[in-house]
Amino acid sequence: MSIVLERQPNLSGDPTKAAQGFGKRASGPVRLFDPHTQAEAAAGFFEAEGYVVLGGCLSVEELGVLNAFFDRTQAERPDAWGLGDRRKPHHRNQGLIFSQPLLDYPELDPFTRHPSSFPIVSRLLGGEERVRFAEFNFRETPKGAGAGAMNFHHDAVREDRLVRRPYMPCDWLCAIHYLTDTGPGTPCFCVVPRSNRFETLQEAFAGLGDDYQEVPLYGPAGTCILYDTATFHTRLDGNGDERRRTWHQYYARGGWLRSALPTTDRYVRPPTPALTDWNLFPERLARHPDPKIRLFFSHWNTAQGEWAASGFDPAVRAAMPRGEQ
């Protein structure tokens, strides 16, 4: 990775908190890995840094399909995107989000185990038999959205990550695919490499020392970012005028693993818990005829279990968060 560090103002105004970062921003090209010919190197980079960027994961045809889906569903179902009169709290400061498109659009099913990124995801989570679906959504920062000032944060974490040996496989993993070109003027994903081994951003800043950096991840449409959900990250807003479209998919780890803690060499890591208590996936996937797909969609939360117990009753779904049709 070729990086030049630029010291910028601490946007938080408080170096002891620095929720929006410490201003130690990296610039320069980010290393892209070919997911088909450099899978081993990509996995190694992720294990060391807590993220990796894969180039050319989506074809021109796939990008056309997904962008057409955005256009069509924003026109047909504006409320589902947060474009209608009933703007939902979970859309605030995140632009537009279509939370659960898999529920009603079977044409999206092939993307859930995409041949470019899924083999690397499988390797990072301990093998295909351990990968579990967690969440799938589409997001858009519209043109002229302005600045949102998102704080650096991590997603779901397990506290044992700080002491277990080995660290990998990670607990949850997210794949973000850029559906539009992303450069310095557009919103982009930004990570703090190696911060997944720290409890707070402040501890990462102190512990990493000169190696601490906030790395904007730019790339053309079709680029995929894989990151450990324990890695601190944010969205940079660019100039506040340009549009960005992304597809976000979260994965959990299934199965029990032998590991070790400082106090014992016989620690069993349980499966990663469900990422949310509201996410649903449809009967066609939960009861898929292929046992591999059923296993992939077997990480149920309480909402999914209750919906399945009802026989996948549409009224039960509609009563749940983000379950509207």
Asked if 287 contacts 304 with a C-beta cutoff of 8 angstroms, the reply is no
**CA–CA gap between residue 166 and residue 261 (Å, rounded):** 9
Numbers of helices and strands, H then E, in the chain: 9, 13
Instruction: Tell me which CATH homologous superfamily contains domain 4-275.
Output: q2cbj1_9rhob like domain (2.60.120.620)
Asked if 252 contacts 301 with a C-beta cutoff of 8 angstroms, the reply is no
pLDDT of residue 86: 61
Give the pLDDT band (50/70/90) at residue 129.
Answer: very high
**CA–CA gap between residue 289 and residue 254 (Å, rounded):** 20
51 pLDDT above the threshold of 80 = yes
- Residues 280-297 as b/e (b if ≥16 CB within 10 A, e otherwise) read bbbeebbebeeeebebbb
Chain center to CA of 256: 23
- By CB atoms closer than 10 A (0-12, 13-18, 19+), residue 110 is exposed
Summarize pLDDT for 267-305 with one digit per residue, the tens.
Answer: 788 899 999 999 999 999 999 999 999 999 999 999 999
How far apart are the two ends of the chain, measured CA to CA in Å?
Answer: 45
Give the pLDDT band (50/70/90) at residue 265.
Answer: low
pLDDT of residue 14: 47
pLDDT of residue 5: 33
Asked if 171 contacts 230 with a C-beta cutoff of 8 angstroms, the reply is yes
DSSP 219: B
Asked if 171 contacts 226 with a C-beta cutoff of 8 angstroms, the reply is no
Name residues whose C-beta falls within 8 Å of residue 6's C-beta, 6 or more positions apart in sequence: 25, 26, 27
For range 132-158, the mean pLDDT: 87
What does the chain come to in residues?
Answer: 325
Dihedral of CA atoms 242, 154, 248, 297 in degrees, nearest 10, equals: -170
pLDDT of residue 240: 78
Q: φ and ψ at 161, to 5 degrees? A: -60, -25
DSSP 294: H
Q: Which residue has the higher pLDDT, 9 or 236?
A: 236
Give the other-Cβ count within 10 Å of 250's Cβ: 21
225 pLDDT above the threshold of 80 = yes
119 pLDDT above the threshold of 80 = yes
DSSP 218-244: -B-TT-EEEEETTS-EEEE-TTS-S-E
Q: What are the residue ranges of CATH 2.60.120.620 in the chain?
A: 4-275
**CA–CA gap between residue 23 and residue 30 (Å, rounded):** 18
Summarize pLDDT for 176-215 with one digit per residue, the tens.
Answer: 999 999 998 899 999 999 999 999 999 999 999 999 999 9
Q: E strand or H helix at 75, and its extent?
A: helix 60-76
